[in-house]
């Protein structure tokens, strides 16, 4: 099965890594849309148009049968329309894991880090309201402008000051669970744990996304046998050291520039 996966940059590679660990017989075509990053401070209309363009390109060049939006921001802005536009294709995306956080939190105080587009999106707002009432939990949200850029540069150490400022209100509220509502933020999970100082649970959704892709692909006839290959493309710049750090010594990765 040919699978197209994209994000604004490196963040979605944690999703690719997760998928590549549980699947066989896939050809993965990943686009890091760095020419257009960050997505989080753009308008929904802008991101939707970009997602449609990327999807058309992946279908034309790589004949993809499944599309994974490895980006919470793109999912919030575009998944509904993409499913309408491409009804015969598997289309899945990622959303901040508020539900698993409610199950795991003991204090019922949950921090959420995401882009402002995701936090202000209707999808997030509706879910947050529903869970706050039905589960009697409090969510403490924080957008993180500038964080994606630092991660893309590979400046993980330089994220500490900005994260310390954003996490302080969560610390003061004694949140025991933090939802990583942007795929990039998984790459600074250790920094977040260090700053919080006490034990917290970090919630990310790449495993759930990989499981869902498995379910849908088996339903559509994928036999899950044979080689898995990953090709990574980028539209702007990419930090190859960061790519190597994410994949360690895992399988073949071909890097190339992509024109959309």
Q: Are 148 and 114 within 8 A, CB to CB?
A: no
Q: Are 13 and 251 within 8 A, CB to CB?
A: no
CB of 115 to ligand DGL, least distance (A): 4
Residue 199's SS3 state is: coil
- Residue among 71, 94, 102, 144 flagged as catalytic: 71
Among residues 37 and 66, whose Cβ is nearest to ligand DGL?
37
Among residues 151 and 228, whose Cβ is nearest to ligand DGL?
151
Long-range residue pairs from 46-49, CB within 8 A, at least 24 positions apart, any chain: 47/73, 47/74, 47/77, 47/78, 47/117, 48/77, 48/78, 48/81
> Among all chains, which residue has been given the structure tokens 């919030």?
76
Q: Does residue 71 carry a catalytic annotation?
A: yes
- DSSP assignment letter at 7: E
Residue 252's SS3 state is: coil
CB of 257 to ligand DGL, least distance (A): 19
Q: Are 224 and 24 within 8 A, CB to CB?
A: yes
> Among all chains, which residue has been given the structure tokens 């759930």?
208
Among residues 7 and 65, whose Cβ is nearest to ligand DGL?
7
- Residue among 51, 102, 144, 182 flagged as catalytic: 182
Q: Which residues bind ligand DGL (CB under 6 A)?
A: 7-8, 11, 37-40, 71-73, 115, 118, 148, 182-184
Q: Which residue is nearest to ligand DGL (CB)?
A: 40
CB of 142 to ligand DGL, least distance (A): 14
Among residues 1 and 202, whose Cβ is nearest to ligand DGL?
202
CB of 98 to ligand DGL, least distance (A): 15
Tokens of 234: 């980028």
Q: Which residues are catalytic?
A: 71, 182
């Amino acid at each position: 099965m040919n699978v197209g996966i994209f994000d604004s940059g490196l963040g979605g590679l944690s999703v690719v890594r997760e998928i590549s660990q549980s699947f066989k017989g896939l050809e993965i075509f990943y686009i890091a849309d760095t020419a257009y990053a960050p997505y989080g401070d753009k308008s929904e209309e802008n991101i939707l148009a970009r997602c449609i363009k990327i999807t058309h390109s992946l279908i034309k060049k790589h004949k993809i049968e499944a599309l994974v939006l490895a980006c919470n921001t793109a999912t919030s802005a575009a998944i509904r329309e993409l499913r309408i536009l491409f009804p015969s294709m598997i289309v899945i995306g990622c959303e901040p894991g508020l539900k698993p956080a409610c199950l795991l939190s003991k204090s019922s105080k949950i921090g959420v880090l995401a882009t402002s587009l995701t936090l202000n999106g209707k999808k997030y707002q509706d879910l947050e309201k529903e869970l706050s009432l039905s589960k009697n939990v409090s969510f403490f949200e924080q957008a993180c402008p500038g964080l994606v850029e630092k991660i893309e540069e590979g400046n993980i150490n330089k994220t500490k000051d900005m994260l310390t400022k954003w996490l302080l209100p969560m610390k003061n509220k004694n949140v025991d669970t933090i939802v990583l509502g942007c795929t990039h933020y998984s790459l600074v999970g250790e920094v977040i744990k260090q700053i919080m100082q006490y034990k917290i649970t970090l919630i990310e959704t790449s495993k759930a996304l990989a499981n869902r892709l498995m379910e849908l692909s088996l339903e559509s006839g994928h036999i899950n046998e044979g080689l898995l290959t990953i090709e990574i493309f980028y539209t702007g710049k990419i930090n190859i050291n960061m790519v190597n750090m994410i994949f360690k010594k895992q399988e073949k990765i071909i890097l190339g520039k992509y024109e959309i």
